[in-house]
Amino acid sequence: MLTHENIWTAIDRLAASFGYSASGLAKQAGLDPTSFNKSKRISPEGKPRWPSTESISRILTATGATMNDFIALIDSDASTHSNKAEQTLPLIHFTQTKQKEVFDKNGNPTGDLWDHVQFPDMEMNKTNIFAIEVSGNSLMPLYRNGDILIVSPNAPIRRGDRIVIRNAKGVLSVQEVLKKQARKLDLKSVCAKKKTISYTSKDIDWTARILWVSQ
């Protein structure tokens, strides 16, 4: 049953499953950071305020979760989430991504060079999610040596997202999406030099959206 309380509880659970506070999730989705504050859930007159369908759509897009995932969070018992389970994700160091045998043509992990890392498992859609550990200072100042990027080649991307992209020459880089068109991506490097570059579809091997960063 959809009630005011369990809809908001599902939003809190979704935020926690990706390492956000409720306000952090709102900000990640491009909403006002106070949108999901507990003080906003009841009007000054004492009437319940419901989250809009647009805000729910935006937090699903921001996390890569599906509507089925969200409904599962509504329906599941609170005890399911009292102790955070973990899942094991494939992990590779950024310096090893230059080797062709570590990814298939769709950007999914392959080969035997992969390690593993534990990541909170909150019943999200875990299809084709893996981790890349930052090596060195090439992604400074945004990402530092030892940071772990949780990424998914299946997650949709939009303007403002940060992505891992492998070009047709096999070079991996981390970029911010400035503009997305049907056959073209305008990107900005996340490193200090902040170079901008445009890729056509023939220049791209694959892209994977950064869902979460462990720093």
Of 152, 157, 150, 144, which is closest to residue 184 (Cα–Cα)? Answer: 157
- Helical residues (DSSP H) of 64-173, grouped into ranges: 67-75
Regarding pTM above 0.75, the answer is: no
pLDDT digit string, tens, across residues 177-199: 999 988 899 999 887 666 788 99
Lowest mean pLDDT among 14-18, 103-107, 117-121, 149-153: 117-121
Residue 170 carries which DSSP code?
S
Q: What percent of the chain has pLDDT over 90?
A: 22
Q: What stretch(es) of the chain map to CATH 2.10.109.10?
A: 85-214
| Fold classification of 85-214 (topology level) | Umud Fragment, subunit A (2.10.109)
Summary mean pLDDT of the chain:
83
Half-sphere exposure of residue 145, counting CA atoms within 13 Å on the CB side? 4
Q: Quick one: pLDDT at residue 200?
A: 93
Higher pLDDT among residues 18 and 113, named by residue: 113
Higher pLDDT among residues 77 and 95, named by residue: 95
Indicate the pLDDT class of residue 86, thresholds 50, 70 and 90: low
Of 18, 68, 13, 17, which is closest to residue 36 (Cα–Cα)? Answer: 13
pLDDT digit string, tens, across residues 106-145: 888 998 888 888 776 544 555 578 999 998 888 888 888 8
Q: Which helix (H) or strand (E) holds 146?
A: none
SS3 22: helix
Q: What stretch(es) of the chain map to CATH 1.10.260.40?
A: 4-81
pLDDT higher than 60, residue 77: no
pLDDT higher than 50, residue 82: no
Higher pLDDT among residues 12 and 124, named by residue: 12
Top-level class of domain 4-81:
mainly alpha
pLDDT higher than 90, residue 212: no
